[in-house]
């Protein structure tokens, strides 16, 4: 579906004629949320706005919210308290969007206690943003633009990316899994996959602009097209990539098609679900030239009992067997994961099972979370909630194990040559360049700026907890 974004951005340009307008966006969520912010920025650019890092000088402030864990709420309401003065002093437009806006108790609270907010928009109505802004500006109206039903897939929304080397592409939206702890299926709706040709066109366009790495995004990225298939839709797409005709009917075939694009050196994807990690996907990664051999495989828990309560649809053994199978087919593979500690009913033994999987798989990176109750989810109603102090203790034990493993892994890099995509200058030191290995380790080194955007071989000379140090000896 195409949008009429142009019509509304032109109207805003007309309204603001002769005045320089600035926007400030705070992105509070995951990479999908980030990509949505890039779309909001893209639409605002077309409407004549420029970005500012200084919130006090913005004409419009946008908070793009997340609600996956509870601290997000405190953060948003804290921020709203801070920006109220800008509204009062100079009439700054305040807009809030994203996942949290799909929660009724939040929008209710906003209506009651934060009346100064101008625009509230949900996850299914992003492309209406220019229209909403136009009416907020012209008629000084309070706008609430939230759909309860699943949105449709919109194409043609402009995207403004600040990074010029790495880019994200959302390939599907929504989630059908209903893990019992998770709010995402309630705020993002059912799975909707984009047409593969639109994805390929976006990737080819990025390659033309000089991008070297793309990350495919979806709440459940490897069930790309699966729901359409289940509903009986025809998902046999003939696509054109790099001038060649290819068939795309699954996540694996999409990976294969994207692998053909010239100029894209690295392809990553997040987040896949272990239950959909089919053999054709493993083979596609193995046979590809550009798909990174780092696989993010969210574990959540290592206990079969907890996994069942979480509705994850795999056991500890299934997970370990999957990791083993991938490793057998792709020996150089590394893994990263997400883990939740303190899910209701998690016993000491269950937690030990999680530690056991961590030891066995030896992840390169672990995103660790303390279980957070979410209103409306099944797990929130479970009676056997774990006390905060136990959750924190387990979290620290897991962290300790992970950090020890990373230290050992980092030592193994020392003395080796690794391929690094050079991303730019280091944030803290302009004389140092920084990049990443295929396994997503940060490598800092000295070198000339013309290496930025290239994949080069670096020799690792020392390791530090969160980065490696390399030298460029042009080997
Ligand atoms: N769709 C992705 C990511 C979802 S959110 C996936 O399935 O992997 C990212 C991570 O947040 C999840 O993997 C999970 O580890 C964590 N998470 C989700 N809900 C949570 C909750 N209620 N409490 C703590 N962590 C949670
Ligand atoms: Fe949440 Fe589970 Fe869906 Fe991931 S797969 S978004 S954790 S419900
Ligand atoms: Fe948060 Fe929504 Fe992403 S709840 S994690 S921003 S999908």
CATH classification of the domain holding 172: 3.30.750.210
C-alpha closest to that of 95 among 43, 46, 48: 43
Residue to mutate, 34, 68, 72, ligand 1, most ligand atoms under 8 Å from C-beta: 68
What's the confidence (pLDDT) of residue 463? 94
Considering the domain architecture, whether residues 7 and 141 belong to the same structural domain is answered as yes
Residue to mutate, 223, 369, 379, ligand 1, most ligand atoms under 8 Å from C-beta: 369
Cβ proximity of 249 and 274 under 8 Å: no
CA distance 97 to 123: 7
* Ligand 1 center from residue 68 Cα (angstroms): 7
pTM tops 0.85, yes or no: yes
Cβ proximity of 83 and 94 under 8 Å: yes
Considering the domain architecture, whether residues 280 and 380 belong to the same structural domain is answered as no
- What CATH number is associated with residue 333? 3.30.750.200
Considering the domain architecture, whether residues 167 and 125 belong to the same structural domain is answered as no
User: Which three-class secondary structure string do you get for 275-303?
Assistant: HHCCHHHHHHHHHCCCECCEEECCCECCC
Residue to mutate, 66, 187, 189, 220, ligand 3, most ligand atoms under 8 Å from C-beta: 66
CA distance 339 to 367: 6
Q: Is residue 327 part of a domain?
A: yes
Considering the domain architecture, whether residues 105 and 10 belong to the same structural domain is answered as yes
Residues 6+ apart with CB under 8 A from 262: 207, 242
- Domain limits for position 200: 163-292
C-alpha closest to that of 222 among 99, 326, 148: 326
What's the confidence (pLDDT) of residue 2? 57
Considering the domain architecture, whether residues 16 and 136 belong to the same structural domain is answered as yes
Considering the domain architecture, whether residues 107 and 228 belong to the same structural domain is answered as no
Which ligand is nearest the CA of 69, by number?
1
Q: Is residue 183 part of a domain?
A: yes
Q: Is residue 150 part of a domain?
A: no
- What CATH number is associated with residue 75? 3.40.50.12160
Considering the domain architecture, whether residues 16 and 140 belong to the same structural domain is answered as yes
Considering the domain architecture, whether residues 257 and 203 belong to the same structural domain is answered as yes
Q: Is residue 429 part of a domain?
A: yes
* Ligand 2 center from residue 369 Cα (angstroms): 14
Q: Dig out the tokens for 10 from the structure.
A: 């032109």
Q: Is residue 451 part of a domain?
A: yes
Q: Dig out the tokens for 151 from the structure.
A: 């949105």
Query: Is ligand 1 within 6 A of the CB of residue 366?
Result: no
Number of structural domains in the chain: 4
Q: Is residue 310 part of a domain?
A: no
Residues 6+ apart with CB under 8 A from 387: none
Considering the domain architecture, whether residues 12 and 141 belong to the same structural domain is answered as yes
Q: Is residue 312 part of a domain?
A: no
Considering the domain architecture, whether residues 10 and 139 belong to the same structural domain is answered as yes
**What is the mean pLDDT of each successive set of 10 residues along the chain, which is 475 residues long?**
84 94 97 98 97 97 96 91 94 97 95 95 94 93 84 89 97 96 96 97 98 97 94 95 96 98 97 96 98 98 98 98 98 98 98 98 97 96 98 98 96 96 91 95 95 96 94 82
What is the DSSP secondary-structure string of 41-70?
A: HHHHHHTTEEE-S-GGG-SEEEEEE--SST
Considering the domain architecture, whether residues 186 and 205 belong to the same structural domain is answered as yes
Ligand 1 atom showing the smallest separation from residue 219 Cα? 1
Considering the domain architecture, whether residues 238 and 133 belong to the same structural domain is answered as no
* Ligand 2 center from residue 137 Cα (angstroms): 37
Q: Is residue 207 part of a domain?
A: yes
């Amino acid at each position: 579906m195409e949008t009429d974004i142009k019509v509304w951005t032109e109207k805003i340009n007309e309204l603001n004629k002769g005045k320089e307008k600035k926007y400030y966006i705070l992105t509070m969520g995951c990479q999908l949320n980030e990509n949505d912010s890039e779309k909001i920025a893209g639409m605002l650019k077309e409407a004549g706005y420029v970005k500012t890092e200084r919130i006090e000088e913005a004409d419009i402030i946008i908070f793009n919210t997340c609600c996956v864990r509870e601290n997000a709420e405190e953060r948003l309401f804290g921020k709203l308290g801070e920006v109220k003065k800008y509204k009062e002093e100079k009439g700054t437009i305040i807009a809030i969007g994203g996942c949290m806006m799909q929660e009724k108790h939040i929008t209710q609270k906003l209506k009651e206690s934060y009346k100064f907010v101008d625009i509230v928009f949900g996850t299914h109505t992003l492309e209406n943003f220019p229209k909403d802004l136009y009416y907020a500006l012209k008629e000084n109206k309070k706008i609430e633009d939230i759909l309860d039903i699943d949105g449709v897939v919109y194409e043609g929304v402009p995207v403004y990316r600040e990074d010029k080397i790495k880019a994200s592409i959302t390939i599907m939206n929504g989630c059908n899994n209903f893990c019992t702890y998770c709010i995402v299926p309630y705020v993002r709706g059912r799975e909707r996959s984009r047409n593969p040709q639109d994805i390929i066109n976006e990737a080819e366009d990025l390659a033309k602009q000089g991008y070297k790495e793309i990350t495919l995004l979806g709440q459940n990225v490897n069930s790309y097209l699966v729901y359409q298939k289940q509903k009986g839709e025809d998902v046999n797409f003939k696509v054109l990539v790099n001038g060649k005709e290819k068939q795309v009917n699954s996540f694996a075939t999409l990976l294969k098609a994207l692998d053909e694009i010239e100029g894209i050196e690295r392809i990553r994807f997040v987040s896949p679900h272990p239950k959909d990690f089919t053999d054709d996907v493993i083979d596609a990664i193995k046979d590809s030239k550009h798909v990174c051999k780092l696989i993010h495989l969210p574990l959540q828990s290592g206990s079969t009992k907890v996994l069942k309560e979480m509705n994850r649809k795999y056991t500890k053994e299934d997970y370990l067997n999957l990791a083993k199978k991938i490793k057998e087919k792709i020996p150089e593979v590394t893994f990263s994961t997400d883990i939740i500690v303190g899910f209701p009913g998690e016993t000491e033994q269950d937690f030990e099972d999680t530690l056991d999987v961590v030891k066995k798989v030896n992840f390169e990176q672990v995103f660790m979370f303390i279980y957070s109750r979410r209103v409306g989810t099944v797990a929130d109603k479970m009676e056997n909630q774990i006390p905060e102090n136990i959750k924190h203790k387990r979290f620290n034990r897991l962290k300790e194990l992970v950090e020890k493993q990373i230290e050992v892994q980092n030592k193994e890099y020392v003395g080796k040559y690794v391929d690094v995509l050079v991303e730019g200058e280091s944030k803290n030191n302009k004389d140092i360049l920084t990049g990443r290995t295929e396994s997503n380790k940060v490598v800092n080194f000295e070198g000339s700026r013309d290496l930025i955007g290239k994949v080069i071989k670096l020799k690792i000379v020392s390791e530090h907890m969160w980065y490696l140090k390399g030298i460029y000896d042009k080997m």
